[in-house]
Amino acid sequence: MIKFPSDRRYNSLSVYLREKYMHRLQKISVNAGFTCPNRDGSVAVGGCTYCENKAFNPSYCDPGKSIKQQVEEGLLFLRKRYKNAGEFMVYFQPYSNTYDSVDKLETIYNEALAIPDVSGIVVSTRPDCVDEEKLQLLSDLSQSHYVFLEMGIESVFDKSLKRMNRGHDFKTSVQAFEMAAKYSLFTTGHYILGLPGESREEMLESAGILSEIPMKAIKLHQLQIVKGTEMHKDFENNPNDYKLFEREEYLDFAVSFCERLRPDLLIDRFAGEVPLPYLIAPKWGLFRYDQVMQMIEKRFEERNTWQGRLYEE
């Protein structure tokens, strides 16, 4: 059996960061007013069929406010919630946070990094919104601050990317992570499990394909149907196409998926949490993410298995 830090059965990103930096890194989300090429017509209009940025936007994230004001309001909120918050990272989360000129990006990121108590940035974007110049900028900033780059992969299957109107193919994701690896950036891939048209076998197969990508960490999300999205309409029109994970099945599936991942890939998250007012399906009840995590850890124990057990190089 592979031994992971803190006696876990998988390679936990939060444990890795705590051991590396000796404290917790807490994210503060901001909305810096970016848009997305999949919405403004550059790539497509309408966006990805599952997308509803409002569902993931804390109330203090308002692009009408300066980044400093959003961070200060976020700090007030997080300091009450987490007594030992450690250091703070500004999380550029909604929309595509590298979708502007390099000069503008530099100004925006530096505005965040100049705020007292902020030690770094997390930049979330699409794989078709990075290039050598932007990666060079992030690499330069990473010499003096923590810099994490998150990119949405969502599926390794072009048929699924097309169906969800993602506006790029899987090859684009691979190339973006390969380019980022040349700059030694810490990268995380975002991935959805349960997309319509993908069988459970195909999803398990994708773990091996994802393991080939030179990314440092992965964030897994079970497919959730969000109110008012194009996917919500499709779900109502074609319910039989959707095989959404119920909680118990997902706990087992997440473990099986993880068994097929390369063992040095850090796991950032195993599941997503759409706020209940926005969530159409699947409804797992009032479970917080830390409870889901504990249940997944228990499943690893019960099955006496671990990340990478079935990984084939």
Q: How is residue 1 written in tokens? A: 């059996």
Q: What are the helix (H) ranges across the chain?
A: 13-21, 67-81, 102-113, 132-141, 158-163, 170-182, 200-211, 230-237, 247-259, 289-302
**Closer residue to ligand SF4 in complex, CB, 166/299:** 166
Smallest distance, Å, CB 81 to ligand SF4? 26
Residue 233's CB is within 10 A of a number of other CB atoms, namely 12
Find the residue with minimal CB distance to ligand SF4: 47
**Closer residue to ligand SF4 in complex, CB, 53/139:** 53
The dihedrals phi and psi of 75, each to the nearest 5 degrees, come to -65, -40
**Closer residue to ligand SF4 in complex, CB, 99/311:** 99
Smallest distance, Å, CB 96 to ligand SF4? 6
**Closer residue to ligand SF4 in complex, CB, 36/261:** 36
**Closer residue to ligand SF4 in complex, CB, 92/270:** 92
Q: How is residue 89 written in tokens? A: 């990272």
Element (H, E) at 226: strand 225-226
Residue 157's CB is within 10 A of a number of other CB atoms, namely 19
Euclidean distance between CA atoms 93 and 219, whole angstroms = 14
Smallest distance, Å, CB 51 to ligand SF4? 3
Residues in touch with ligand SF4 (CB under 6 A): 36, 38-39, 47-48, 51, 53, 95-96, 126
Cα dihedral sign, 5-11-12-16: positive
Smallest distance, Å, CB 169 to ligand SF4? 14
Q: How is residue 311 written in tokens? A: 């990984």
**Closer residue to ligand SF4 in complex, CB, 53/256:** 53
Q: How is residue 109 written in tokens? A: 């990121």
